[in-house]
Amino acid sequence: MRKTPILILLGFLILVLLVVNLLLGSVKIPAGDTLAILFGDRSNEIFSNIILKSRLPQALVAIMAGAGLAVSGLQMQTVFRNPLAGPSVLGISNGASLGVAIVVLMSSSLAGVSLSRIGYAGDAAISIAAIIGSLAVMTLIVWVARKVKGNVTLLIIGVMIGYLVTAIVGVLKFFSAEEDIKAFVVWGLGSFARVSGDRMLLFVGMMAVLLPLSFLLVKTLNLMLLGDDYARNLGLNISRSRTLVILNSGVLVAIVTAYCGPIMFIGLAVPHLCRAIFRTSDHRILVPGTILTGAALALLCSLIARMPGFEGALPVNSVTALVGAPVIASVIFRRRKDDVRE
């Protein structure tokens, strides 16, 4: 099948999901009113607040976060030639957790303020801490990547750094007040709804710059599929390429995690889903493919998390796994059967 129509179809699917995300929610707002609000009608303050300050930001954040995590997962899986690699595997999201843990758990004992109580400034501090934490771990990984040769060695070191960081978080928890731990746990559940207003615009803006950058690495990623020796023989500088891919991938994860918490599963599963849908390893297709599929899946999960009855209380992480796992497992399973039959 031709690949471009599928990409266009995915774009259309995102549009539909975006509309449904705006229309559905615990408060019933007529479609006509929603449209009017989007075009600048502010006559119903409650409705316009719900649409513009809750549903629209949430949908935009979901699109960007889903796209970022998915393409980051694709890059990790290719560079490590490991189907189980994902944004969390190198300890980069653990690094974010550490940053947040330090800020959330230590603030009351060190500075005497409990961040879980101070709202907006606290949120900003959490984002910054998460970015610093994940970038710190990523810098460490990049440094290691330049020292060691094998990808498997690097992967194992990454996983070990992840464990180490988790252990430090565990120790921090042990010494913290109960309400701070609760705030930390809530952050860890993941949510697209936490960001709004200016911070939402900042997040969306940063992602809009970073996502296109991943297109610059498609040729590199295609060559990496062949393995280091073949890739090097075709003129690729392995060490520099590996660093660039980890940097791109790591920064995407760092920023998404900073604003939405550690969102599981999308980064791991979407690349597999895309390979099954497009039946190719060509990153010129897979990069736009994962970006669109990731965005669509995140929108779907965000929608389900807000279904009547859950009232936004359902953590995104539970939904991503509950919705995604069976779908993706079945798609991959069916494709495998086709392969055998050929």
Asked if residues 265 and 317 have their Cβ atoms less than 8 Å apart, the reply is: yes
User: What's the N-to-C CA distance of the chain in angstroms?
Assistant: 16
We find the least distance from the C-beta atom of residue 240 to another protein, in angstroms, to be: 10
In the 3-class helix/strand/coil scheme, how is 292-335 assigned residue by residue?
Answer: HHHHHHHHHHHHHHCCCCCCCCCCHHHHHHHHHHHHHHHHHHHH
- In the bound complex, what is the minimum distance in angstroms from residue 236's beta carbon to another protein? 7
Question: In whole angstroms, how close is the CB of 228 to another protein at the nearest point?
Answer: 9
Q: What does the alpha-carbon distance between residue 212 and residue 287 come to, in Å, rounded to a whole number?
A: 10
Between 111 and 234, CB nearer to another protein? 234
Whole-angstrom distance, CA of residue 317 vs CA of residue 20: 21
What is Dmax (Cα atoms) for the chain?
A: 66
Pattern 35-74, another protein, x by CB under 8 A: ----------------------------------------
Q: What is the DSSP letter of 111?
A: T
- Shortest distance in whole angstroms from residue 267 CB to another protein: 19
CA distance readout (Å), 43 to 34, 38, 48, 198 = 12, 12, 8, 23
Minimum Å gap between C-beta 278 and another protein is 8
Size of the site for another protein (CB under 8 A): 26
Tokens of 52: 């513009």
Give CA–CA dist 219/169, Å, rounded: 38
Q: Looking at beta carbons only, is 50 or 224 nearer to another protein?
A: 224
Look up tokens 């944004």; give the residue: 87
Of 211 and 223, nearer to another protein (C-beta) is 223
- Residues 158-217, interacting with another protein (CB under 8 A): 215-216
Per-residue x/- marks for another protein, 206-245, CB under 8 A? ---------xx-xx--xx-xxx-xx-xxxxxx--------
Between 216 and 325, whose beta carbon lies closer to another protein?
Answer: 216
Q: Which of residues 261-290 bind another protein (CB under 8 A)?
A: 275, 279-282, 284
Provide, rounded to whole angstroms, the least separation between the CB of residue 12 and another protein: 24
Query: What is the nearest approach in angstroms of another protein to the Cβ of residue 243?
Result: 15
Residues 127 and 258: their CA atoms lie apart, in Å, by 4
Using CB under 8 A as the binding rule, whether residue 81 contacts another protein is answered as yes
Binding stretches for another protein (CB under 8 A): 81, 215-216, 218-219, 222-223, 225-227, 229-230, 232-237, 275, 279-282, 284, 339, 342
